[in-house]
Amino acid sequence: MSDTWLVILLLAVATFAIRMCGALLGQRLPQQGSWARALKALPGSLIVALVSVSLLAGGPAEWVAGAIALVVATLTRNLVLTMAVGIGAIWLLRFYA
């Protein structure tokens, strides 16, 4: 077997195991108390972490475009519009700034 196929299969098996672990482990954790509170808060803080990583990996252009996207999201609550304005903003900022 070539190295490429080895990488594909190992990564596939590991990724599936990770996904299943979360799905099965999550159900075994208590439904009340601190574990439940942590799991409930996890999605929001993970998404914030995700956005933080991509903004911090960028520069001023990304920060300004991010702020513009946040304003659009707050005003319109519209996913498609926020994406469109965000992409337009970053394009203009990188082009002209």
Partner 1 sequence: MVMDDKRAFARGFREILPLSMGAGIYGLAFGLLAAQAGLDDLEVGFMGTLVFAGASQIVAVERIVAGAGSLVAVVAGIALNLRLLLITASIRDVYAGRPFWQVVLGAHLTTDENWALMLAARARGEQAGYWYLVGAGINLILVWVVATVAGVSFASEIADPRALGMDFAFTAAFIAIARSLWAGRPDLVPWATSFLVVALLMLPGWVDASWAMIAGGVAGAVVAALGPGRHE
Q: Which is nearer to partner 1, 23 or 60 (CB)?
A: 23
| Shortest distance, position 77 Cβ to partner 1, whole Å | 6
Contacts with partner 1 by CB under 8 A lie at 3-12, 14-16, 18-27, 29, 34-57, 62, 65-66, 69-70, 72-74, 77-80, 82-83, 85-88, 90-91, 94
In degrees, rounded to 5, the angle at the alpha carbon of residue 53 between the alpha carbons of residues 34 and 97 is 150
Distances (CA, A) of 3 to 6, 8, 14, 60: 5, 9, 16, 40
Sign of the alpha-carbon dihedral angle for 84, 90, 92, 93: positive
Q: Which is nearer to partner 1, 60 or 79 (CB)?
A: 79
Q: Which is nearer to partner 1, 3 or 60 (CB)?
A: 3
